[in-house]
Structure formats: C-alpha cells, structure tokens
Amino acid sequence: MLFNSIEFAIFLPIVFGLYWVLGKERIKAQNAFILLASYLFYGWWDYRFLILIFISSFVDYLIGIRLYQTENQKKRKNLLWLSLGVNLGLLGFFKYFNFFVDSFIQAFTLFGKNLTYDSLSIILPVGISFYTFQTLSYTIDVYLNKMKPTKDPISFFAYVSFFPQLVAGPIERAKNLLPQFERQRTFDYALARDGMLQIVWGLFKKVVIADNCAIYVNKIFEHYGEVNSSTLLLGLIYFLFQVYCDFSGYSDMAIGLGKLFGFKLMKNFDYPFFSRTIPEFWKKWHISLTSWFVDYVYIPLGGSRKGLAKKIRNVFIIFIVSGFWHGANWTFIAWGFFCALAFLPSLLRKKEKQYSQIVAEGKTFPSLKEFFQMLGIFSFIMLSMILFRSPDIQTAWNYTQGLFSFNFHPFDLGRMDYFYFIVILLIWEWLSRSKEHSLQIDHLKQPVRWVIYFATTWSILYYFGQEQEYIYFQF
C-alpha cells in the first residue's frame, strides 16, 4: 500500500478515526490496533511477508528478555549472535543469495571453469532492510545494557511494524520509539496539524517532483549512448532529485503520520544540499541509517580511538557496508568506496566536525565561499549517482565517458518542465532551512500561507494518480 495511492487515502482516515475513538485513554487498545493496522498495511503487498516480520519480532522479543535475565557473559554473547544470525540470515537470503551465487560462478570463469546455475526467483520483501536494522538496534542496546527490555509483546511487535515508517524508515531506535508505545498518548491538535502539513510537503516532493523526474531519468538512462552530454547531465540532476524527493518525501510523510497518532519520529533529512563538506552532507542525508552504522558498526570497530590507519579502515568499512545495504550489486559497493574516498580529505585534515551550525544562519544569502562549497558538494553527490543508478559497472563507465565527452548542446526545453519545480524546491528549502519541514510557515501572513497551501495541494492533485513505487522499496 503506497502513501500516494487511493487505497491509502481510504485506509488512513479509517485507522486514524478508530485509533482515537476505540483507543481513547487505553494504551494497550491503541497498541493492539496499531499492530493490526500495521500488519494489514504491510500484508497489502504480499501476505507471505508477514511471517518474516513476525519471526524477527518474536525472536528479538524473547532474546531481549533472556539477555536481561542472564548475567553469564558467554550466554549473553550467544544470545546476541542468535539474534544477529536470524535477522541477518533472513536479510542475507532474501536480498543477497543470488548475488553471492552469481559472483561465485563469475569468479570461477576467470580460471576457465564454467559453472551453470539457475538463479532462484526470490521476491525481496518490502522494507526488510529497514525493519531488520530497527529490531537489531533493540537487541544490541539490551545486550549493551543501554536499555531494559519490554515485557509487553504487543508494544514490541507494534514498535517493529509501526506502519508509517515500516517500509522505508526512518530506522527508529528502540530507545526513542518503544517508550512512546508504553506511555499514554492523547490527541494533540497542534501536533496533528503540523503532521498534516508535513505529509502534504512530503506528497509534493514525491508526486510532483520525484515521480515526474523518474519518467525522464528512465528514458535517458535507457538511451544514454544516443544522447549528448547536456542530456546526460540533465538525467543526473533529475535522478538526484528523484532519489532525494522520493526518499525525503517518504520520510516527511512517515514523520507526519507519526504525529497524527501521537508519536515523534526522528528527523531523517536535514536539507543536505546546503552542506559545505562531505561529512556535513552525510550528517544530513538519511540520518537514521548513517547514525545506525556509526553506533553499531563504526564505534564497535574502534571508531576514532585506535589511530589514524584504523580510523580510515573503519570509515571505508561503514561506507562500503552502507553501499551494500542499498542493493546486491557491485555498483553499490563501488558507490560506497567512491563516497569513502571523498570523505578521506576531511578525515586526514581532522575536519569531520568542521560545520555544525546552519549555513548562513540568519542571513538571506550565503557568502561566495559557502556558495561554491555547496556547489562542489552537490556536484560530487550528483556524479556519484551514476554508480547508484547504473545496472552494472560497465554502464556507469560508459555514462561517465559520455558525460565528459563535452558534447554539450542547449537543453531540450521539452525535458526542462520539472527543472523549474526543482529550482522552486531549492529556493523554498533554503528559506526554510532552519525549520523541521518546509511548510512550517506560521510566521507568514494568513493570506500568503493559504496561497502556498492551495498551490501545493493543487500541484499534488494535478499530478496524483501515477502511484509510482518508492525508489527505496527496492533496498
């Protein structure tokens, strides 16, 4: 069930109304209803997927309790390995089985051995990468004594399957979201209103920009060998904004939906295109995944504590693992390596934490230095999208060669339609970069606000109906 679908437009008001009426002042009733609604939402794609999320939830619920009851360190480690084995085993089979088998066979061909194998027709369960990391954060935090396990199975199962952020994040930590299932929630009009505005903004990014950019991106990448450098450049720009508006749009809708039901989810994007360095960009892009890898991979490996060489090693590990998390393809591994290389200069100069404040805070325009810094980071991220979008390394190389053949011509105006929406988006996000989302405009006069609300809503309704799947569902 897609957020930008007729089915969800029917599902949401029914669930919202029943949740606040039936579950009024009764936490367990609210949680049980959220669980049922979440399983209905998830099973809408394929009811068979429900068994996987149930297994992950059931295993980690029991392991969390056993970890708390057991003081023997060896037994506790075994329990942790059991959780890792079950969750990563399911993820590995459904997402990476054919990749490893195909890579194994290709490796043998280098030595003159031709092996044959018919790949299995394995359906990738929607959101498995997201809810696997979410439930693992619970087990690891209990193991590290950072939190106590819950003994309420309904709360825990609802935490793992919470439908607003189930299939594409944010990847919520148990420390943040699970306690919200264990305390009383009452309807907050101001929070719900802000949630609705954030949903509208997320829909605008998804329906108006991402879905329309996707049409041109698909055409350009399918015929990249037949077009000039200008068109290849436009294809990259469109793809970057397709990814950004698709994923950050989903995150906005997820966070907004959470507010409707009395939950506060973590921020997942923080205006990343206004970053001045590569480290600053990764602190603002897909924040829930970046911070997950830092806390559960980078720091356990030693983080920055064991010398420069191991610090560099750890950075490369989390970027390459992050690339592989995005997909079972060598292009994603190469993308992760490419991003790690770009991170390296800041690391060597010890500038990873150089910028923490909002760029040009309190000013209308950035300085010339800040402008070129942001342009440089934008250009690099855009180029990295060649690897992210290409089906294989050869295609990525060919696309890059075509782009840098410098066969530039005036842009085809027929393909520029949505470029203007991108410009409007960037200007509006720049003006609202200190806000949680771009429709927090209560500081404007009421007539101006209503014009903006109307224009945004009209644009969504005009382009509504394509129901293109979210790009991050494939991850």
What amino acid positions are annotated as catalytic residues?
326
Token pair 């075994």 is at which residue?
Answer: 78
Task: Show Cβ contacts of residue 406 under 8 Å, excluding neighbours closer than 6 positions.
Answer: 229
Q: How far is CA 203 from CA 13, 269, 355, in A?
A: 16, 15, 30
Closest CA to 187 of 12, 40, 39, 22: 22
Give DSSP secondary structure letters for 437-458: STT--TTS-HHHHHHHHHHHHH
Q: In this structure, which amino acid lies at residue 439?
A: L
Interaxial angle between packed helices 368-389 and 330-348, expressed in degrees from 0 to 180 and rounded to the nearest 10: 160
Report the distance separating Cα 275 and Cα 281, nearest Å: 5
- Contact call for residues 336 and 319 (beta carbons, < 8 A): yes
Q: 3-class secondary structure for 132-151?
A: HHHHHHHHHHHHCCCCCCCC
Tokens standing for residue 236? 């990259």
For the four alpha carbons of 173, 178, 180 and 181, in that order, the dihedral sign comes to: positive
Q: In this structure, which amino acid lies at residue 256?
A: G
Task: Show Cβ contacts of residue 110 under 8 Å, excluding neighbours closer than 6 positions.
Answer: none
Report the distance separating Cα 329 and Cα 148, nearest Å: 38
Percent helix, percent strand, percent coil in the chain, to nearest 5:
70, 0, 30
Closest CA to 147 of 202, 262, 68: 68
Report the distance separating Cα 69 and Cα 49, nearest Å: 31
Backbone φ and ψ for 265, nearest 5 degrees, come out as: -90, 160
Rg (Cα) of the chain, in Å, rounded?
Answer: 23
